Amino acid sequence: MVDRYGSFAELAAENTEGVEYRIRVTDRGSPVLILAPHGGTIEPETAEIAEAIAGDDLSFYAFEALQPGAFGDFHITSHKFDEPRALEIVEQSSLAVAIHGRRDDGTDKVWIGGRAREAGNAISAALEEAGYGAERNKRLPGLHETNICNRTKTGAGVQLELSRTMRRHLAAHPAALDAFAIAVRAGIAAVTPT
């Protein structure tokens, strides 16, 4: 599906913040940012999962569509995602980990992408150790330099793609969400001081 908007300015010109969409930013001054650029009704549960991973100490950002509608109505492709508050907090971070959703494809393995390979590998290993499958994302690799997760001070970030079934499971089971968040944070901690 093709995105309806090619930039945040186009989206904001036709929609009202607080009515059709909301933006949540919590800058905790940490070198790590956890974000969900396609939260709310775009890729359901991604904002809640990102918020759980961020906890009380990592910075957090979410763009959330509040109205039901076609996937593309509020989706801005990651390498075109240029919402100003997102850019500001990402650009002051050393590592950004973006949580995304994908359709069910017969596997619940987490697809790992982004330019921060060492961090991606560490998160993958931590997820595997916690009993979650993970694999390098070949379909949506997240390697574009303007991908929102890669617009950090280091020019690299990590993109995690979770299946719809996995997101629903994590949202419905707080203990599973906690375990998933702990695993992702363990991978981050292995390569980045928080």
Structure tokens at 28: 């905790």
Distance CA 164, CA 108 (A): 9
In a domain, 129, yes or no: yes
Q: What is the pTM of this model?
A: 0.95
In a domain, 14, yes or no: yes
In a domain, 2, yes or no: no
Distance CA 6, CA 43 (A): 18
- pLDDT surpassing 90 at residue 97: yes
Give tens-digit pLDDT for 19-71: 999 999 999 999 999 999 999 999 999 999 999 999 999 999 999 999 876 55
Q: What H or E segment, with its residue span, contains residue 85?
A: helix 84-91
Distance CA 149, CA 81 (A): 10
Q: What is the mean pLDDT of residues 74-96?
A: 96
Question: What's the pLDDT score for residue 56?
Answer: 97
Question: What's the pLDDT score for residue 193?
Answer: 63
Question: What's the pLDDT score for residue 8?
Answer: 96
Distance CA 2, CA 72 (A): 6
Q: Can you give the C-alpha Rg of the chain in angstroms?
A: 15
Give tens-digit pLDDT for 150-181: 999 999 999 999 999 999 999 999 999 999 99
In a domain, 50, yes or no: yes
- Among residues 21, 93, 18, which one has the least CA distance to residue 63? 21
Contact 37, 8 (CB under 8 A): no
Distance CA 2, CA 167 (A): 23
In a domain, 3, yes or no: no
Question: What's the pLDDT score for residue 107?
Answer: 84
Task: Give the number of other CB atoms < 10 A from CB of residue 56.
Answer: 7
Vertex 180, ends 174 and 185: CA angle to 5°? 125
In a domain, 82, yes or no: yes
Domain that holds residue 77: 8-191
- Total residues belonging to the chain: 194
Task: Give the number of other CB atoms < 10 A from CB of residue 187.
Answer: 25
Q: Strand pairing partners for 113? A: 159
In a domain, 135, yes or no: yes
Torsion sign, CA atoms 142, 145, 148, 151: positive
Question: What's the pLDDT score for residue 71?
Answer: 57
Domain count, the chain: 1
Helix, strand, or coil here: 64? Answer: strand
Give tens-digit pLDDT for 123-144: 999 999 999 999 998 888 999 9
In a domain, 83, yes or no: yes
State percent of the chain over pLDDT 90. Answer: 88
Question: What's the pLDDT score for residue 70?
Answer: 59
- pLDDT surpassing 90 at residue 16: yes
What is the pLDDT of the chain when averaged over all its residues?
Answer: 94
Question: What's the pLDDT score for residue 67?
Answer: 84
Q: What is the CATH number of the domain that holds 170?
A: 3.40.630.100
Question: What's the pLDDT score for residue 140?
Answer: 82
